[in-house]
A and B are shown apart, each in its own frame.
Chain A
Amino acid sequence: EPEVTQTPSHQVTQMGQEVILHCVPISNHLYFYWYRQILGQKVEFLVSFYNNEISEKSEIFDDQFSVERPDGSNFTLKIRSTKLEDSAMYFCASSDPGIGFAEAFFGQGTRLTVV
């Protein structure tokens, strides 16, 4: 069964450092998303991406965040200067508009720990 793949599974970084989280969405999907989940809290939308541009972003997704689809398969989330409060699980998701935007398929997540 096709799945969304995220790497690394766990990333530890020092405050102020840049991190890049990697995702390989399902191959025929056209919509890509990043969500985050702070420990014990609900999943929060960060950004959606379609046709090589951001289609929507939340208040959380400030200038420290950026997304990129560098090639035909990868979708990355970059945090330029990490803060302690960026520690969270980050989930990548993708969807096929033929099925419906909301039936997004999520990856296993990357646990980001900022120390």
Chain B
Amino acid sequence: GESVGLHLPTLSVQEGDNSIINCAYSNSASDYFIWYKQESGKGPQFIIDIRSNMDKRQGQRVTVLLNKTVKHLSLQIAATQPGDSAVYFCAEPGITSYGKLTFGQGTILTVHP
């Protein structure tokens, strides 16, 4: 069925390090994935998305990699800053309804100065 999940619930890094957050999905028909950032006390905020016809997409300090063979995607944050501390979710739209997002469990990223 439609589902996304995360390998690690928490990740602690030092400021300036690169961070990698992973996500697995189960539906091989999934064709669109989104990463959201949720800061404490706030709603999820769109970071970056990727379609299945791509295996890599870059944004500002963030890169998403998609490996369709093993149904895995990752979010890489370069030069992590304390302001990057948040919960990161991967999500995918529903197959029957593009507006229905299914979120993964979330990874808590803590950046130490």
The number of A-B residue pairs with CB atoms under 8 Å apart is 68
The residue in B43, B45, B92, B103 that gathers the most chain A C-beta atoms within 10 A of its C-beta is B43
B42 touches A108 (CB 8 A): yes
Q: How large is the interface on A (under 10, 10 to 19, 20 to 34, 35 or more residues)?
A: 20 to 34
Chain A, range 71-106, C-beta contacts under 8 Å to B? 91, 93, 95, 100-106
Q: Using an 8 Å CB-CB cutoff, how does the interface string of B17-47 with A read, 1 for contact, 0 for none?
A: 0000000000000001010001001111110
A43 at the interface (CB under 8 A from B): yes
A18 at the interface (CB under 8 A from B): no
> Which A residues are within 8 Å of any B CB, using their own CB?
4, 31, 33, 35, 41-45, 48, 50, 55-56, 58, 91, 93, 95, 100-109
On chain B, the number of residues with a Cβ less than 8 Å from chain A's Cβ atoms is 26
A48 touches B99 (CB 8 A): yes
Asked, given contacts A109-B42, A109-B43, whether A42 binds B89 with beta carbons under 8 Å apart, the answer is yes
A48 touches B100 (CB 8 A): yes
